[in-house]
Amino acid sequence: MNLVLIILLFTVLFGLTGALLGFSAHHFKVVESPVAGKLNDVLPQTQCGQCGYAGCKQYAEAMAKNEAGIDLCVPGGQSTIDALAAILNIPAVKAQQDSDLRAVAFIEENLCIGCSKCSNSCPVDAIVGASKMIHTVIGNRCTSCRLCETTCPTGCISMIKVPKRPDEWNFCYPSLKEQFDNDGKPELEN
Ligand code: SF4
Ligand code: SF4
Ligand code: SF4
């Protein structure tokens, strides 16, 4: 008898919970703007907050409501501005940073103690290195978000300017910056 009562109680409980969840899903669902979704799709998804919003999605929602300009995403650069402008059907503006230069994280390897705090903080896996070993940045993966910069206990991470965007340079390591001449082209070894 007790068993029947318990089963009955659980059935009623689960039924009520299901009804409550169904009611909430129907009446309190958040309808995402389709434009915000499209804008979010072309953002880098670094979630670095440099645009002044908590993340890419929040920035996209602000743009969709015409509350934010299209030039606030530093990691995205000019190509992202162009894509955002195309979606919103408005003229593209020039990226706030110098379009010929781009910041990339650089690790002073002689100061690195291999704590891995930087690689754990990098949202795009642009830092490689094993625990207690030297870490280094894969330059053409770095999106300039700067999230790693403040995590380093020895202060050995800084941002350096590189002449072109990663998809445009033929460039091995940020540590080779000294090999660039004034024209922004690498000096070729003879
Ligand atoms: S600056 Fe760009 S990548 Fe960073 S959170 Fe904002 S939209 Fe995302
Ligand atoms: S290396 Fe640093 S600056 Fe570059 S993407 Fe990773 S966290 Fe951001
Ligand atoms: S946070 Fe600094 S010390 Fe730690 S692994 Fe990264 S570069 Fe090296």
Same domain? For 155 and 111 the reply is yes
Residue 167 binned pLDDT confidence (cut-offs 50, 70, 90)? low
Instruction: Over range 18-39, report the average pLDDT.
Output: 80
- Give the other-Cβ count within 10 Å of 153's Cβ: 10
Mean pLDDT, rounded, of the chain: 81
Shortest-distance Cα residue to atom 6 of ligand 3: 118
Residue keyed to tokens 């380093």: 152
Same domain? For 74 and 112 the reply is no
Is 51 within a domain?
Answer: yes
Is 3 within a domain?
Answer: no
- Model pLDDT for residues 59-96, shown as the tens digit of each residue: 999 999 999 999 998 888 888 999 999 999 999 888 76
Same domain? For 79 and 126 the reply is no
Is 44 within a domain?
Answer: yes
Q: What percent of the chain has pLDDT over 90?
A: 42
Is the distance from the beta carbon of residue 144 to the nearest atom of ligand 2 less than 6 Å? yes
Is 11 within a domain?
Answer: no
**Residue 124 alpha carbon to ligand 1 centre in Å:** 13
- Degrees to nearest 5, angle at CA 182 with 178 and 184: 80
Q: How far apart are CA 82 and CA 78, in angstroms?
A: 6
- Degrees to nearest 5, angle at CA 188 with 184 and 190: 160
8, HSE (Cβ side, Cα atoms, 13 Å) = 5
Q: For residue 48, what is the domain's CATH number?
A: 1.10.15.40
**Residue 173 alpha carbon to ligand 3 centre in Å:** 17
pLDDT at 1: 60
Q: Which domain holds residue 145?
A: 102-165
Is the distance from the beta carbon of residue 75 to the nearest atom of ligand 1 less than 6 Å? yes
- Model pLDDT for residues 119-133, shown as the tens digit of each residue: 999 988 999 999 999
